[in-house]
Structure 1
Amino acid sequence: MEFTIQRDQFTHAINTVSKAVSSRTTIPILTGIKIVAHEDGIILTASDSDISIEQYIPAESGEHQWIENITPGSIVLPSRFLGEIVRKLPGEQVTISVHDRFVTTISSGRSQFNLNGMNAEDYPRLPQIEENQVLSMPADLLKTMIRQTVFAVATTETRPILTGVMWSLENGELTFVATDSHRLTTRKATVESAAGLSFHNVVIPGKSLLELSKILSDDDKLVDIVITDNQILAKVNQILFYSRILDGTYPDTSRIIPQNMKTEMILSTKEFLGAIERASLLARDGKNNVVRLFTRPDGVIEISSNIPEVGTVTEEIVPSSTEGEDVKISFNAKYMIDSLRVVDSTEIRIGFTGAMSPFIIRPTDHDWILHLILPVRTNQ
């Protein structure tokens, strides 16, 4: 195998697929990047068993000639060295040549490296996915939906199913749900999908979605998504992103969302976030990062934190409106901050149902997103 490629293109592709390389794998070949050269371009593949990323670089695209002098073949090269070498080579072009016993020469300008490669035939094959059931959505929308939900997945493996985001599709509406059993977030959007396509309980690891988010563009270019029993495939530009789907049944979270509110208030998102962030400066040294919120008779909302060994902080906020009973509730400041940072609306509506009942945060200008937080029991 041999080819000469534009260094910047090669570097970008290596960086993209490297996101799927695990440094902790017990399978030596998975520490490498598989490179396959065809007459019309090259394909780079990396995998850690949970996710796999494949990127195709065409020999030419429009007026650009990215790859020249292609002799078809394949090789697996160690990811850790390949990326560093190519990134620091002096010339604008890189030549890759594979010799006997998989020894591979990487040269550019006056620099030349010889790397010991591995047999590409030993590299695990990516799953073959039937693509007749496709849903499509803009890359920036998918990126936003991931950002607005993935923070709420569980970070411990006590209940593995909660380490993922649950996807469901019904009548062209895609819903993401994430919970760690202390908080919940849901995000909905209308998408293009094959006629009659619907699914439920498709739970994708939060770590996989974070990696997918990194390769999504910030524009409205469509991403095609295919879901099977145990894999999801996202196609964007010249990249294929595969992830396993978690086994198990996601809990029915709809039952814990309260429908009737005893108190509702509308607040400035920025002002409320700032107050919680300041209160948490002391609270984060406490056991549960607890901040208290209560309404005063004059309509002002008081936010406070009291850590005996550190000190106290009190903030006052005047809501745009308040309806219903007085509120006195304690909650984890981090959970509130995480939710407020992804709301993307200038005002929020918070609904309370009691001191020890879940409360809900929604934007005032749309109903696509909902956050639920469980309060914290305190002795004060």
Structure 2
Amino acid sequence: MKITVSRDALVFLISKVASVVPQKPVIPILSNLLLEAKGSTLTLYVTDLTVSVRTSVEANIEREGQIALPAKRFFQLVKELTSNDIMIEVTDELVVVIHAGSSFFKLHGMNQSEFPFFPEISETLSLTFPAPQLKRLFTNSSFAAAKDDSRQALNGIFVRAKAREATFVATDGKRLAKIQAAIELAPEEEISSTIPLKAVEEMIRIMDDDLSVTLSFMEDKVALTSGVTTLVTKLIAGQFPDYERVIPDRSKMQPIHLHKEELVTLLKQIALFTSDVSQAVRFTFDRGRLDLEANHHEIGEGKVHMPVDYKDDTKVIALNPHFLLDILRHCKDEVIDFAMSDSFNPGSILDTTKSLYVIMPMRLSNDT
């Protein structure tokens, strides 16, 4: 194998795939990337056995071939080079010789046969989105997903698509995000899959904003294609919870309009009077105002309020301010619609982008 490739193009590819390489690989070969030179294309492969990424760039190829290289060291070296072009040549002893201007390096590689095969992509059901839209769908839902929960189905984003609508849902049991988008599927086609959170984060990273991207769903995996880059990940097995059961019926509630930025400011202030053990803030809706109160026996007490257009009887609910701040950061509207029934049932927030957020109440006590 002997090639010459643009240093800038190679750095761009590295930015797409580097984070997939595991920090603590279960087998040594996973700390490597696979370089493949064929025709006029240089292709990079990385995998952690759950998420696999393939991306490519045009190169001047004098001799075709493959080699597995230590990914982190190769990535760091390429980023530090200043030459416009890099020449990469593999010797018979699995040593990679790298020339960049007047610089010369040798890097020991591994036999490509040890590197896992890239997953096969079969005929599938596919959804196509403008990249910025899919990024928004993932970003506005993924923050609510669980991290390392024993209930595996919660450690990802559930995607359901049927007819003219796709729904992206994530929950950790304390909050829930449900985002919807218009699509086109045949009447008999339906998608119901849970994508792992790490894969979603990698998908967001590899998408180019000026391209359309395609999600291709198979029986046990899903592929994202963005230009010359393809990511394939295993799907999470198991049943995603019946999330509709915890979404309040907003038709029976009068929404309360809240100015988002003012509420964010007050939440940041009052959150300083909570701790990891006691995170509840008391929300009291009274005629014309919202009072927020937190009380901690070791920290102190905080009370803030803001005017609101509320004319009903007093309502009280305790919420986690950090969870509510997460939701507000993903709302695009200046004024949000908050709805609640009582202290014991979830509150919900709706914005004009078809985004619905649910936040579970916390226990009210004398300290809150």
Paired residue for 1:362, among 322, 330, 350?
Answer: 350
Partner SS state of residue 177, structure 2: strand
- Matching of residue 125 in structure 1 with residue 125 in structure 2: no
- Matching of residue 340 in structure 1 with residue 328 in structure 2: yes
Partner SS state of residue 357, structure 2: strand
For 1:85 and 1:24, how far apart are their aligned partners in 2?
21
User: Which stretch shifts more, 152-161 or 347-356?
Assistant: 152-161
User: Which digits, 9 at most, give the CA deviation of each residue in 1:156-211, with x for residues without a partner?
Assistant: 332111111100001131111111111111000013446743112x0111121011
For 2:232 and 2:2, how far apart are their aligned partners in 1?
28
Residue 69 of structure 1: how far off its partner (Å): 4.0
Q: Which residue of 2 aligns with 1:204?
A: 195
- Residues 139 and 222 of structure 1 are in contact (CA less than 8 Å); yes or no, is this contact kept in structure 2? yes
For 2:223 and 2:97, how far apart are their aligned partners in 1?
33
Q: Which residue of 1 aligns with 2:60?
A: 68
User: Which digits, 9 at most, give the CA deviation of each residue in 1:329-364, with x for residues without a partner?
Assistant: 11111110000000111111111111111111112x
Q: Which residue of 2 aligns with 1:137?
A: 129
Residue 19 of structure 1: how far off its partner (Å): 2.0
Residue 129 of structure 1: how far off its partner (Å): 1.4
Residue 263 of structure 1: how far off its partner (Å): 4.6
Matches within 5 A, 1:26-37: 26-37=26-37
TM-score (norm 2): 0.95
- Residues 174 and 189 of structure 1 are in contact (CA less than 8 Å); yes or no, is this contact kept in structure 2? yes
Residue 153 of structure 1: how far off its partner (Å): 0.8
Q: Which residue of 1 aligns with 2:4?
A: 4
Paired residue for 1:223, among 187, 202, 213?
Answer: 213
Q: Residue type matched to 2:156 in 1? A: G
Q: Which residue of 2 aligns with 1:146?
A: 138
- Matching of residue 314 in structure 1 with residue 306 in structure 2: no
User: Which stretch shifts more, 186-195 or 369-378?
Assistant: 186-195
- Residues 204 and 246 of structure 1 are in contact (CA less than 8 Å); yes or no, is this contact kept in structure 2? yes
- Residues 155 and 197 of structure 2 are in contact (CA less than 8 Å); yes or no, is this contact kept in structure 1? yes
- Residues 35 and 74 of structure 1 are in contact (CA less than 8 Å); yes or no, is this contact kept in structure 2? yes
Partner SS state of residue 209, structure 1: helix
Q: Which residue of 2 aligns with 1:273?
A: 264
- Residues 85 and 100 of structure 2 are in contact (CA less than 8 Å); yes or no, is this contact kept in structure 1? yes
List alignment gaps of at least 5 residues for structure 1. 59-66
- Matching of residue 163 in structure 1 with residue 151 in structure 2: no
- Matching of residue 375 in structure 1 with residue 361 in structure 2: yes
- Residues 286 and 311 of structure 2 are in contact (CA less than 8 Å); yes or no, is this contact kept in structure 1? no
For 1:235 and 1:156, how far apart are their aligned partners in 2?
27
- Residues 25 and 31 of structure 2 are in contact (CA less than 8 Å); yes or no, is this contact kept in structure 1? yes
For 2:66 and 2:186, how far apart are their aligned partners in 1?
36
Partner SS state of residue 147, structure 1: helix
- Residues 162 and 185 of structure 2 are in contact (CA less than 8 Å); yes or no, is this contact kept in structure 1? no
Identity %: 26
Residue 288 of structure 1: how far off its partner (Å): 3.4
Residues 333/261 of structure 1: CA separation in 2 closer, same or farther (3 Å cut): farther
For 1:229 and 1:309, how far apart are their aligned partners in 2?
53
User: Which stretch shifts more, 129-138 or 143-152?
Assistant: 129-138
Q: Which residue of 1 aligns with 2:95?
A: 103
Residue 212 of structure 1: how far off its partner (Å): 1.1
Alignment coverage as a number of residue pairs: 365
- Residues 264 and 324 of structure 1 are in contact (CA less than 8 Å); yes or no, is this contact kept in structure 2? no
Partner SS state of residue 3, structure 1: strand
Q: Residue type matched to 2:322 in 1? A: K
Q: Residue type matched to 1:353 in 2? A: S
For 1:2 and 1:194, how far apart are their aligned partners in 2?
47
For 2:94 and 2:78, how far apart are their aligned partners in 1?
18
Partner SS state of residue 146, structure 1: helix
Q: Residue type matched to 1:310 in 2? A: I
Residues 192/4 of structure 1: CA separation in 2 closer, same or farther (3 Å cut): farther
TM-score (norm 1): 0.92
- Residues 286 and 312 of structure 2 are in contact (CA less than 8 Å); yes or no, is this contact kept in structure 1? no
Residues 211/288 of structure 1: CA separation in 2 closer, same or farther (3 Å cut): farther
Q: Residue type matched to 2:42 in 1? A: I
List alignment gaps of at least 5 residues for structure 2. none
For 2:327 and 2:186, how far apart are their aligned partners in 1?
32
